[in-house]
Amino acid sequence: MAVNNPTLTALDVMRDAPVIPVIVLHEVQHAVPMARALVAGGIRMLEVTLRTPQALACMEAIAREVPEAVVGAGTVRSVADAKSAERAGARFAVSPGYTSALGEACKALGLPLLPGVATGSEIMMAQADGLQALKFFPALQAGGLAMLKAWQGPFGDVQFCPTGGIQPGNAADFLALSNVACVGGSWLVPADALAQGDWGRITALAREAAQLQRA
């Protein structure tokens, strides 16, 4: 299989905007207008989680109809997940944890991977496989700001995307850290805004997120 994105790296995904939206879609018809709303607000790296039966169809629709968006797959837990996501048009993958098998599969597919880590040993495992851009998950439950600050010494060559418990009220604190490239958060796509088709609200939330300052 041809490599999907030879020029896109995980760090590119993380540095594109201060926030990567963590998106849960239950209705395929919401996918395209939601993606357009996020792009209009300045957010184009879109993590559509594999948490619903409709997720792959939603990715396909976004990849086909919103070329200015870069759709990624979230909650990628297996090689099969990675392959399905790549076939659906995903251009990057985000996982809640890390295995070498998943890392190798994503590399073969040309999918930049943001693997979830919560301990020093997990960081070292990912680094041993050549990964330097990692997702810190679940961020608040795993130590939050204090943990990221502690990692700045031994893992100063790693950039993180903390995800899990990140909200507008604490996002700036995480983004102020030198080892945080971006944060992941679900607040950009509220369930009630999706249900109501309130695309203007999603664009406004994206615009606010895109203007957050990073270190």
For residue 38, give the CATH number of its domain: 3.20.20.70
- Domain carrying residue 144: 10-208
Catalytic residue list contains 47: yes
Show pLDDT as tens, one digit a residue, over the chain (215 residues). 234 555 899 999 999 999 999 999 999 999 999 999 999 999 999 999 999 999 999 999 999 999 999 999 999 999 999 999 999 999 999 999 999 999 999 999 999 999 999 999 999 999 999 999 999 999 999 999 999 999 999 999 999 999 999 999 999 999 999 999 999 999 999 999 999 999 999 999 999 999 999 98
DSSP string, 55-118: HHHHHHHHHHH-TTSEEEEES--SHHHHHHHHHTT-S-EEESS--HHHHHHHHHHT--EEEEE-
Catalytic residue list contains 27: no
215 in a structural domain? no
Strands ordered across the beta sheet of 45-49: 159-162, 133-136, 113-117, 93-95, 70-74, 45-49, 19-23, 183-185
Number of domains in the chain: 1
102 in a structural domain? yes
Q: How many CA atoms lie within 13 A of 113 on its CB side?
A: 34
3 in a structural domain? no
**Cα(95)–Cα(112) distance, rounded to whole angstroms?**
11
16 in a structural domain? yes
Longest dimension (CA), the chain: 46
Give the pLDDT confidence score for residue 7 in this predicted structure. 84
Give the pLDDT confidence score for residue 6 in this predicted structure. 58
DSSP string, 204-215: HHHHHHHT----
5 in a structural domain? no
**Cα(101)–Cα(209) distance, rounded to whole angstroms?**
34
Question: Which residue of the set 65, 83, 135, 149 is catalytic?
Answer: 135
Q: Are 184 and 166 in contact (CB under 8 A)?
A: yes
CA distances, 16 to each of 77, 100, 135 (Å): 24, 26, 15
127 in a structural domain? yes
193 in a structural domain? yes
Q: Are 135 and 153 in contact (CB under 8 A)?
A: no
- The model's pTM is 0.96
